Amino acid sequence: MYCVGVDLGGTNIKAGVVSLDGRIIESSIIRTRRDKKYTVVVDDIAKQILRLLSSVGISMDEVDHIGIGVPGVVYNARGVVVRAVNVNFSDVPMRDEFKKYFDVPLYIENDANCAALAESKFGVAKDYNNSIMITLGTGIGGGIIINREIYRGVNCAAGELGHMSIVAKGRTCSCGRRGCWEMYASATALKNLAIKTVSRNKQSKIYDIVNGDIKRVESRAVFAAAKNGDVVAIKVLGEYMSYLSLGIVNLINIFQPDVVVIGGGISNAGEYFLKKVCEAVEKSNEMGQDLEKRTIIKLARLGNDAGILGAAFLEKGV
């Protein structure tokens, strides 16, 4: 038997046929037609799955279930997507729609939860019961794994870690609150901070890296310049790390998880990035100093596969 995992994103849809031991047999990517009605998107996904199965010679009889990760709030018990702004879904009865194509169980889940589950089952958190995954991207996605299962809360909307406010009366977030963590510690926040700082400090190596085109500044350039000793980049990273670590220490004080897993584009900066995060967390986690066991911080391992793998291994949900 096999399972199918689908990672529905605002730009692309990734789907994969997965063995029961967590190996992706084959996967494919198509564009998300987010300007179309949900029935069209579901039709696209269904055809993508059928093409995949056909190409590896696996019949629907051999598929135990299908799981789908969606970038939004999902009532997985009813199979309904409450809202997913990036794909223009609002109150979409996704499971019912899929039933028109497939006669196997269909599980739907928030995509950040899928990624957290994947790292917990197959990635860097697989030796631990309790893990928190944060994904640093446009915003900050969050997934909470307790006793090796996704923690969903009363309405399946738990884990909005990016919308923990860390600056009372701070920057206004798209969610309507002020001072949300993601306004200060997402990849977007780092990029904005770097652009603002470099435009006032054109002697910075960051300026050279982007050939003077300040709009092209991204986290990658900041890390590259900082590694080369650029003082402006080091200052930008220092400020960014103070906010990133503040939120992580909050999560440690709240959950004391076995492990905090960091994913998303920024984490591609690798060991250099991880070292900076650990240093900043250590500095401000004074309450934890005398504790025997302490939360470990790790970089996500599964990258783009996390969405497919997590979706493929969703359980029945609440």
Residues that bind a second copy (CB under 8 A): 73, 75, 82-83, 130, 142, 144, 146, 151-161, 163-168, 170, 175-177, 179, 184, 242-243, 246, 249-250, 253-258, 284, 286-288, 290-295
* Least Å from the CB of residue 172 to a second copy: 11
Which one, 116 or 209, has the nearer CB to a second copy? Answer: 116
* Least Å from the CB of residue 190 to a second copy: 15
Which one, 31 or 169, has the nearer CB to a second copy? Answer: 169
Q: For residues 35 and 276, what is the distance between their CA atoms, to the nearest angstrom?
A: 40
Q: For residues 145 and 131, what is the distance between their CA atoms, to the nearest angstrom?
A: 5
* Least Å from the CB of residue 63 to a second copy: 31
Which one, 80 or 225, has the nearer CB to a second copy? Answer: 80
Which one, 35 or 168, has the nearer CB to a second copy? Answer: 168
Which one, 201 or 242, has the nearer CB to a second copy? Answer: 242
The Cβ of residue 246 has, within 10 Å, a number of other Cβ atoms equal to 18
Element (H, E) at 29: strand 24-31
Residues 6+ away with beta carbon under 8 Å from 115: 69, 133, 135, 141, 143, 263, 300, 302, 306, 307, 310
* Least Å from the CB of residue 25 to a second copy: 35
CA 185, 109, 252 angle in degrees (round to 5)? Answer: 40
Which one, 221 or 248, has the nearer CB to a second copy? Answer: 248
Q: For residues 135 and 265, what is the distance between their CA atoms, to the nearest angstrom?
A: 8
DSSP 171: P
Distance from chain centroid for Cα 19: 23
* Least Å from the CB of residue 153 to a second copy: 3
* Least Å from the CB of residue 249 to a second copy: 7
* Least Å from the CB of residue 20 to a second copy: 27
Q: For residues 158 and 317, what is the distance between their CA atoms, to the nearest angstrom?
A: 13
Which tokens is 290 given? 């005398």
Q: Using only C-alpha atoms, what is the Rg of the chain?
A: 20
Which one, 18 or 136, has the nearer CB to a second copy? Answer: 136
Strands 296-299 and 259-263: parallel
